[in-house]
Chains A and B, each alone.
Chain A
Amino acid sequence: MPTNEHLSKQYDIDLDGLRSLVLAMGGLVESQIRSALDAFATGDAVLAERVIRGEQEVDAYEISVDQECAHVIARRQPAAGDLRMILAISKTVTDLERAGDEAEKIARMAKSIHASGRIPSERVPRIVHAADTALSMLRQSLDAFARLDASAATKAVHADAAIDEEFRAILRQLITYMMEDPRTISTALEIIWVAKAIERIGDHAKNMAEYVIYVVDGTDVRHSGLGMGRKRDEAHPEEAG
């Protein structure tokens, strides 16, 4: 059955191409976030502007992945594992696009903070640490997606709790500053926006890691405190997507 074999090979190429497209978009979002944070830490307005413009490219990726997904579904009518893959891809793209939006938000905030000449120097290190954690989580999720490695994805899901804790700590610290000196309130509010954006990036990375587990194992671990069989860390059983 040479024709059938040929067809299924073409099908594999389609699916692989789709995955590569998602990962290329992931790489773009990773670099957008890193540049946005650099712009925030250094006050580089040109870099911030580049991130804001780059957002259009992220959107373009989202549209082309969605179209490609629709094509594959229409032409191949995928089943079982392939169907899970297509579903996961289409959800991953949504989360990636939103993570890209958060990068844009950070870049806009960086621009406005530095345009007003208020430099949030002493608060930056803490934020940078939270941002590094979120970025590494996003990288782990995308790596897990590239390798279809459910155990790496599980680790990424667990890392989210650390970012949430980091966010709460930043919040507490900023509240202390604001109570001590009301003049810091406007800067502190802007920093909270950035911290919140970082926290959201962590959430999106967590969602993406959960889709990887879904593709590999066929189990939906969202809202379940991470599938019973895979739980390693008992500390946050109530965390849900």
Chain B
Amino acid sequence: MNPAVAALLAGLAVLAAVWLGYHINNVGKLRRWLARPQRSPVPEAGGSWDSVFALLYRHEREHTREKRRLVHLVVRSAQAGRALPDGVVILDGSNRVEWCNDRAESYLGIDRRVDAGGPIVNLVRDPEFVRYVEAGVFSEAVGLRPGRNPSLALSLKLIPYGQHRKLLLCRDVTQEEKVETMRRDFVANVSHELRTPLTVLSGFLETVQELDLDRERTHKYLGLMAGQASRMQRIIEDLLELSALESAPAPERDERVRIAPLLAHTRAQAEAISAGRHRISLQLEGDFDLAGAESELTSAFGNLAGNAVNYTPSGGEVRLVWKATGDGATFTVEDSGIGIAADQIPRLTERFYRVDRSRSRETGGTGLGLAIVKHALARHDARLEIESEPGKGSRFTAHFPARRVVRVEHTA
């Protein structure tokens, strides 16, 4: 063989080996990378493999970006779902739990890590809810009092969406139910309070109409009827006052109410109710006035003083004290009356709440006085404090904050 040809063949063989080695090496790199694409970046190479790897790199980069975007989207929706103020459970076609937010977990006592895949009715077993889920009519919501916390009132509603999926919404309606109960109680109370005097009134009317009474008797009955009529009138006036207090805007702070004459008036009113049966004193410490609505304060102070007189036996003492304190001012009504048991105190300001029904009627109370006081004071940023000891007496204190208190400037 010609040595030149031999050298050429040997050269070609070497070249072929190098070329083959290059490809085998790059195929190996590609294979290793494809086995675990997340571990390392796309390999690099020269020559014809460069364009392959470059394309792959671009593809991989787009894929990663898309994936990150989707993950972000999923995380964001999950976060939004978890932040919802209501409980949310996602149910699949056969009412199994797919996902729920934290609120739903605490409302229904479920755990999304443990209970995913389990039927919702296995965990929320209330018969009414089970019937609701099975009936498949979801236009109405269903009420639920969870066993672990029966003071909580929940409203559950199923909303079908997507393909066969359902959203279970759980709303806390405890407050709404409470308001509804209060409203019902209030209406019942008003009717009852008005019916009692009305019954007496119509009873006397019948008597007067049907019996032939002498002048004296007739006069006496008419007097009793007038008493009942004025009682009804008082109730209605108090109710109107309460509703005005609730609906009108809060009193301006720049209207100045002169306390000294107001309290003198309050005292005179109390003296009139007492008719000399009590010692009533008024004490003014410091020259301070209040910013607010005069009529409301008159009514609040008058009610407090009137109560003290009505619930203090003859010969007792009632003290009215107006005093500046470090952080505002207080109006105190102190009596040596019958007092109030500790467990009754928190309920005193409820409408129509009475410690002793017969006694309250006897003194002409409507059961609304302290409710009016509480509302009127709240509108002046003041709070009512009640201390009492049965048999010893009571102390009602209205605390006014400094921003409502105005110093009296004496101009010469």
Contacts and interface: CB of A to CB of B under 8 A. Distances in A.
Q: Would you call the interface of chain A mostly helix, strand, loop, or mixed?
A: helix
Given A34-B150, A136-B147, A136-B148, A142 B125 contact: yes
A136 B149 CA distance: 10
Nearest to B124: A27
Contacts of A139: 147-148
Contact of B122 (A30, A136, A146, A149): A146
Given A27-B127, A31-B127, A20 B147 contact: no
Nearest to B123: A146
A23 interface: yes
A94 B272 CA distance: 75
Contact of A147 (B114, B130, B148): B114
B122 A23 contact: yes
A6 to B, nearest CB: 17
B317 interface: no
Interface in B116-156: 118-119, 121-123, 125-130, 147-148, 150
B118 A143 contact: no
Number of contact residues on A: which range applies?
A: 10 to 19
Interface in B64-117: 109, 114-115
Nearest to A145: B122
A202 interface: no
A84 to B, nearest CB: 18
A142 B127 CA distance: 14
Given A34-B147, A34-B150, A136-B148, A26 B125 contact: yes
15 contacts: A24-B121, A24-B130, A27-B125, A27-B127, A27-B130, A28-B125, A30-B126, A30-B147, A34-B150, A136-B147, A139-B148, A143-B109, A146-B118, A146-B123, A147-B114
Given A19-B122, A24-B130, A31-B126, 9 more contacts: A20-B119, A20-B121, A27-B127, A31-B127, A31-B128, A34-B147, A34-B150, A139-B148, A147-B115
Q: What 8 A-B pairs have minimum CB-CB distances, sorted nearest first?
A: A27-B125, A146-B122, A23-B122, A28-B127, A139-B147, A24-B130, A31-B127, A27-B127
